[in-house]
Every structure is written in C-alpha cells, then in structure tokens.
Chain A
Amino acid sequence: DVKVTQSSRYLVKRTGEKVFLECVQDMDHENMFWYRQDPGLGLRLIYFSYDVKMKEKGDIPEGYSVSREKKERFSLILESASTNQTSMYLCASREQRINEKLLFGSGTQLSVL
C-alpha cells in the first residue's frame, strides 16, 4: 500500500524547544503539505512544497519553517515551541496534477508544555 508516514504519533515538548516533525511519502509525489488541525477550526495550511527545495507559505506560517531536501521527505520545524502550537499536525502529499486528491499521514499530536 502506498502511504504517507509521520515519524511520531504523539510528541511532548517543552516551551522554547526546537521541534522537528518528519513526513515521508513513498509515492514519488511532487506536492507535499503540512496542516494543523484544531477543534472548531478544521484544518489550516501551514506550508506546502511543490518540488524539492521549493516551498510556499500557507495561511498560518508564523512560528514554523519547513525543509524539503529530498522528494520523499518534508519536515516541519518549530523554531521555538510555544503552548499555542499544541495541536494535531497532519502531513499530506499529492501528485502534480492539481485535481488529484491529497493522501494524508496518521498525524502527530504535539503537546507543548
């Protein structure tokens, strides 16, 4: 089965720590995305990447950065974690054809204490 894998299901970090969330896809997809999911707010796009070393800001990029050095891997970085970044983080990938569906990972529930 093709899939999107997020390295951690649950993560607990302290305020001020640098946090790395990793996502790997095995489908050779060009496009990859990071969303955060919060109750009552749905999914909000943080960053996306349409090719290696290419990235674009989504709706809520503040406090985050991303890295895409290889096609299969898209990392989300919290430079200095804060409590308001406690959330479910979802990674997704998609073929280059824009009408194709997103395929999601299982998510990482991050708690910042």
Chain B
Amino acid sequence: AQSVAQPEDQVNVAEGNPLTVKCTYSVSGNPYLFWYVQYPNRGLQFLLKYITGDNLVKGSYGFEAEFNKSQTSFHLKKPSALVSDSALYFCAVRATGFQKLVFGTGTRLLVSP
C-alpha cells in the first residue's frame, strides 16, 4: 500500500530564512512524488513533481525538492522564505501502475515578517 507521512503539522520560519517541509513515503516499486500548495479558501495548486532523473527538482515560486531514495524522503525546500509562502502544503505519492494519488495530512507553513 502507498502512504505518505508529513511529520510536522506546522513549520514556522522568519522571512528571508531557508525553509524545509518534510515528507517521507512508502510504496512498492518506483514512486512518483508531488508537492501541492493550498492558499486560504482555495483549491490545491501544483508545485513540482519527481518522476525520474535528477534527484533535485525545481518547481513554481522558487521551491525545490530533493528525492532521496535511501531515506524514502521528498522534502520541500526554499532558500529564502516569503510571507506570501504561508499556506498549507501537501506531499503526495503514486506507485507505478496505480492511478491513485495518496496525499499526506498536510503541513501548515507560517512565515513571519
């Protein structure tokens, strides 16, 4: 079975500092990994995905994520946080051959001025 863990309910960071939002996964076979962001009263927006190839994936709004197969992790990162990055972030995984995308429970990111 596929599963995703986001161990932190909330991450607090000061504007200008680097941020990391953690995600670990469990699948059989090769994973397809995604990050989505949800702003207040909005649907989810796609940020980035890892399918194959380079372990460092760059996405929208200056975000990037690093795929680490040995640690089964796909942490979301940004070198310098903005107040406008404050939102709810979801990691998701799909296993090879499966249609279903499984989401984590979400991590709320709060960036203070």
Q: Do B99 and A103 have beta carbons less than 8 Å apart?
A: no
Given contacts A43-B90, A99-B51, contact A31 B105 (CB under 8 A): no
Given contacts A40-B105, A90-B44, contact A48 B100 (CB under 8 A): yes
Give min CB distance, B105 to chain A, whole Å.
Answer: 4
- Contact partner of B99 among A43, A98, A101, A104, CB < 8 A? A98
Distance A40 CA – B90 CA, assembled complex (angstroms): 12
Residues of B within 8 A of A106 (CB): 41-43
Hey, what's the 0/1 contact readout for B47-70 against A, CB within 8 Å counting as 1? 001010000000000000000000
Given contacts A98-B94, A99-B32, A101-B34, contact A58 B44 (CB under 8 A): no
Hey, what's the 0/1 contact readout for A84-112 against B, CB within 8 Å counting as 1? 00000010100000110111111100000
- On chain B, the number of residues with a Cβ less than 8 Å from chain A's Cβ atoms is 24
- Contact partner of B90 among A42, A58, A98, CB < 8 A? A42
- Contact partner of B100 among A4, A58, A90, A107, CB < 8 A? A58
Nearest residue, chain A, Cβ from B44: A104
Q: Do B43 and A105 have beta carbons less than 8 Å apart?
A: yes
Q: Do A107 and B105 have beta carbons less than 8 Å apart?
A: no
Give min CB distance, A8 to chain B, whole Å.
Answer: 13
Top 4 closest A-B pairs, CB basis?
A104-B43, A42-B105, A43-B103, A101-B46
Given contacts A31-B99, A43-B44, A48-B100, 16 further A-B contacts (CB under 8 A): A33-B101, A41-B105, A42-B104, A42-B105, A43-B90, A43-B103, A45-B100, A48-B99, A58-B100, A90-B43, A90-B44, A98-B32, A99-B49, A102-B46, A103-B46, A107-B42
In the complex, 24 of the A-B residue pairs with CB atoms within 8 angstroms, ordered by the A residue number, are A31-B99, A33-B101, A41-B105, A42-B6, A42-B90, A42-B104, A42-B106, A43-B92, A45-B102, A90-B44, A92-B44, A98-B94, A99-B32, A99-B51, A102-B34, A102-B36, A102-B44, A102-B46, A102-B101, A103-B46, A104-B43, A106-B41, A106-B43, A107-B41
